[in-house]
Chain A
């Protein structure tokens, strides 16, 4: 108490003359910190005076705490729960060893959900990597009225999932806009069962994901395209390269890192898809539950408050994590091999 009330400046160990330089008296906290914590290297001056080993930890602490509380801890808790028969509402849980994992192997519904999730990623990822890039190339040029198109392509990103789902239901119904147009154009006689055939529901959900994500990733690519030197395009044009060749040999290599990022984000998103299936296939996940993806299946077996088994749901979550990680690493490896 006495020490903190003194008006004498406290010298910083090793700070030399600079620390004792005249100026406003340091605050109590700073004086305490200087007294207790190890100081900068001998002879340090200017900004080096404020370099302490703990400062980076202090600034990153909120982010680290958030990551641990909301990411790391739940992850390890999920891994642990996957070896138990825990219930969603808590209570005593027993260790069941690998039972949940062996049950998964024999569970046909789990494999159906895995197939749907993987198929979703296989179809959506390549399209989501390429289509927004092509769209970005189209709207990159500063033509009159191009702002309208940029906004129009971005609008689906802002629309709520519920509104988008209802709109697509209306479009794809037997007497909806799509079937009506096709009938009027004499291309079909009876309605295409977009909302009652399980395969069509799955592909329509993929279409919905693409439609809603195009604008978002287009913005990524617009930023990346700004880093591709215009001189390269000009030189290639002068050498007689057409638009397709320039796109393939200049634009794509120039935005390779952005493509990698979009591919990874889309891959993770595709394996976790839930809303689109729910919107088009209702709470059962399509007729017979045939369109259920892994998150849908986790909800059914793990999260139901009455009959859910959080242990088994966690085991399926771990499998989903492993699948996501595996596919991401595979994509990275393929990209590196391609670069080499």
Chain B
């Protein structure tokens, strides 16, 4: 009896496994109509040739955590679009944008239910492009690049499954990068606040001066290296990945070891709070209390200080980020708008994506008093709102400084997967704790990164 039950159980398991095999491993084309990422799509959505068709039908538009603060603005944009295109309807949904965003978006893509127009970050866009779930905008609308600052358009280049670089996103908005600091604390340390450092190591030297002057009473900056990798290396023109993106090469540049050695030295000398090594890297609270000399590199941080700590705001200065070997600002990692290749009304989706990211709408949103963001179209950046800065307050200065640098920003933005970034950061943390030499940490970091890149194929 027991043997019979066992046989039946094993047979059941095999049957279920085979069923799972049928469902779980299917993928790619089913030999029918055109497919994108394993989903059946309209033939016009894939392959060569400009996208044509009537701008009619209903589409879904997904933003990331914007409905609460900018509901009126986006409802207005949608209304304008629908008015300009009778027959077109836009349904707006807003994702909370938590740390499960990428996995949920990936699940949507696999289920062939990706929203028609979707706000993406670079890692998610990379994954979806590689799997073929996004419309090739460069092909489907050859004029798509025209409104954008060339560096931003170029930053939205990702590799498809064959390794060909294609444009699947429209640049939308960016935060910009600059240095913010407490003038009093820097003056006490003998750092010249009228002259920003021109190199990353120059900035590190200033951190060291602050640490020596502070004697543990306050800090220069936060320790977690996750917000410096790969941004600092990009600025220093250190190649983090090979040109095909399939292997890590940063250990080949001797400046990487120097950079890690600097971080380890600064951590040991007390330039950074010890408990910030692997926890929060947000200096907002400590900066507002006057306990950290350098604030966040995001211009919106200046507004945060202005609103929450007026006394510290009065002592706050802003300066150009060190251009280092790159010689100009990095375009950073803007937010993108993309169109799903699975869209049933792709002409409507593409038309709305371009309408949303055009100069007029970008400029209008950037002028919203509730936001500190910067546009990615040339026309918007030349708007008097960004150029005619009359005030000498840090907030106005920050706005002009970032707007100016974005017009000529570099495209040198390395797009690391979260797992690879964590693998590199982990090894740097060990070096900062003195558990490994800088050389060993860089070598191990490259090995760990390559293990992950190798399994990605």
- Interface membership of A295, Cβ < 8 A: no
Assess the A307–B419 pair: CB atoms within 8 A.
yes
Q: Which of B402-457 contact A (CB under 8 A)?
A: 417-420, 422-423, 425-427, 429-430, 432-433, 435, 452-453, 455-457
Cα–Cα, bound, A80→B21 (Å)? 7
Cβ of B156 to closest chain A Cβ, rounded Å: 16
CB pair A90 B275 closer than 8 Å: no
Binds A, one of B101-109, B190-198, B315-323, B380-388: B101-109
Which residues of B103-133 have CB atoms within 8 Å of chain A's CB atoms?
Answer: 103, 106, 109-110, 123-124, 126-128, 130-131, 133
Contact of B453 among A72, A289, A307 (CB under 8 A): A307
Cβ distance A240 to chain B, nearest Cβ, rounded Å? 50
- Report the separation of the CA atoms of residues A301 and B419 in the bound assembly, to the nearest whole angstrom: 7
Interface-facing stretch out of B11-19, B146-154, B348-356, B371-379: B11-19
Asked if A169 and B20 make an inter-chain contact with CB atoms under 8 angstroms apart, the answer reads no
A79 to B23, CA, bound (A): 13
Q: Which residues of A contact B417 (CB under 8 A)?
A: 304-307
CA distance A284 to B226 in the complex (A): 9
Query: Which of under 10, 10 to 19, 20 to 34, or 35 or more describes the interface residues of A?
Result: 35 or more
Contact of A93 with B by CB under 8 A? yes
Q: Tell me how far the C-beta of A197 lies from the nearest C-beta in chain B, rounded to whole angstroms.
A: 9
Which of A81, A169, A282, A288 lies at the interface centre, i.e. has the most chain B CB atoms within 10 A of its CB?
A288
- Which chain A residues lie closer than 8 Å to B130 at the CB level? 89, 306
Are A308 and B419 closer than 8 Å at their CB atoms? yes
Q: Give the chain A neighbours of B21 by CB distance below 8 A.
A: 80
Known: A73-B16, A90-B110. A300 touches B422 (CB 8 A): yes
Say yes or no: is B25 at the interface (Cβ < 8 Å to chain A). Answer: yes
Which residues of the other chain, A, contact B128 by a CB distance below 8 angstroms?
89, 305
Q: How far is the CB of A100 from chain B (nearest CB, A)?
A: 10
Among A86, A172, A305, which residue has its beta carbon within 8 angstroms of that of B127?
Answer: A305
Task: Give A304's nearest chain B residue, CB to CB.
Answer: B419
Nearest residue, chain B, Cβ from A68: B16
Interface residues of A in 298-322 (CB under 8 A from B): 300-301, 303-309, 312
Q: Is A194 an interface residue (CB 8 A)?
A: yes
**Interface of A, helix, strand, loop or mixed by DSSP:** loop
Q: Does A88 contact B (CB under 8 A)?
A: yes
- Determine whether the beta carbon of A306 is less than 8 Å from that of B274: no
Contact of A283 among B23, B38, B418 (CB under 8 A): B418
Minimum CB distance partner of A72 in chain B: B16
Known: A91-B131, A93-B25. A300 touches B419 (CB 8 A): yes
Q: Which residues of chain A are within 8 angstroms of B106 by Cβ–Cβ distance?
A: 88-89, 305
Give the complex CA separation of A201 and B277 in angstroms: 12
Q: Nearest residue in B to A283 (C-beta to C-beta)? A: B422
**Bound complex: CA of A287 vs CA of B133, how far in Å?**
36
- A282 and B278 in contact (CB under 8 A), knowing A80-B17, A90-B110? yes
**Could you tell me the distance between the alpha carbons of A65 and B13 in the complex, rounded to whole angstroms?**
16
Point out the residues of chain A lying under 8 angstroms from B25, CB to CB: 80-81, 84, 86, 93
Q: Judge whether B131 and A89 touch: CB under 8 Å.
A: yes
Chain B 8-50 interface mask (CB, 8 Å, partner A; 1/0):
0000010011011101110110000000011000000000000
Kindly state whether residue A92 has any CB partner on chain B within 8 Å.
yes
- How far is A259 from B18 in the complex, measured between Cα atoms in Å? 39
In the assembled complex, how far is the CB of residue A187 from the closest CB belonging to chain B, in whole angstroms? 18
| Chain A residues whose CB sits within 8 angstroms of the CB of B429 once the complex forms | 284, 287-288
Nearest residue (CB) in B for A74 is B20
In the bound assembly, the distance between CA atoms of A284 and B420 in angstroms comes to 10
B445 to chain A, nearest CB (A): 11
- Taken together as a complex, chains A and B put the C-alpha atoms of A77 and B456 apart, in Å, by 20
Most buried by A among B16, B17, B38, B224: B16
Do A76 and B433 contact each other (CB < 8 Å), given the known contacts A84-B25, A283-B418, A308-B419?
A: no
Is the CB of A286 closer than 8 A to any CB of chain B?
Answer: yes
Which residue of A79, A87, A93 contacts B17 across the interface (Cβ within 8 Å)?
A79
Q: Is the CB of B27 within 8 A of A307?
A: no
Chain A nearest CB from B66 CB (Å) reads 20
Q: How far is the CA of A84 from the CA of B21 in the complex (A)?
A: 11
Residues of B within 8 A of A90 (CB): 27, 37-38, 110, 131
B38 touches A91 (CB 8 A): yes
CA distance A104 to B426 in the complex (A): 20
Could you say which residues of chain A place their CB within 8 Å of the CB of B102?
Answer: 305
Q: Does A140 sit within 8 A of B, measured CB to CB?
A: no
CB distance from B434 to the nearest CB of A (A): 11
Asked whether B435 lies within 8 Å of A288 as measured between CB atoms, the reply is: yes
| Bound Cα distance A191, B274 (Å) | 10
A288 to chain B: which residues have CB within 8 Å?
A: 426-427, 429-430, 433, 435
- B230 contacts partner chain A, Cβ-Cβ < 8 Å: no
- Complex contacts, A172 vs chain B, CB 8 Å: 275
Q: List 17 A-B contacts (CB under 8 A).
A: A73-B19, A77-B20, A79-B20, A85-B455, A90-B110, A91-B38, A91-B161, A92-B27, A174-B275, A196-B275, A281-B278, A282-B226, A287-B429, A304-B417, A306-B456, A309-B455, A312-B455
19 extra A-B contacts, CB within 8 A, seeds A76-B19, A81-B25, A91-B37: A80-B17, A80-B20, A81-B24, A87-B456, A89-B109, A89-B131, A90-B131, A91-B28, A174-B274, A193-B275, A196-B278, A196-B279, A282-B279, A283-B226, A284-B422, A288-B430, A306-B418, A306-B419, A309-B455
Interface residues of B (CB under 8 A from A): 13, 16-17, 19-21, 23-25, 27-28, 37-38, 102-103, 106, 109-110, 123-124, 126-128, 130-131, 133, 161, 224, 226, 273-275, 277-280, 417-420, 422-423, 425-427, 429-430, 432-433, 435, 452-453, 455-457
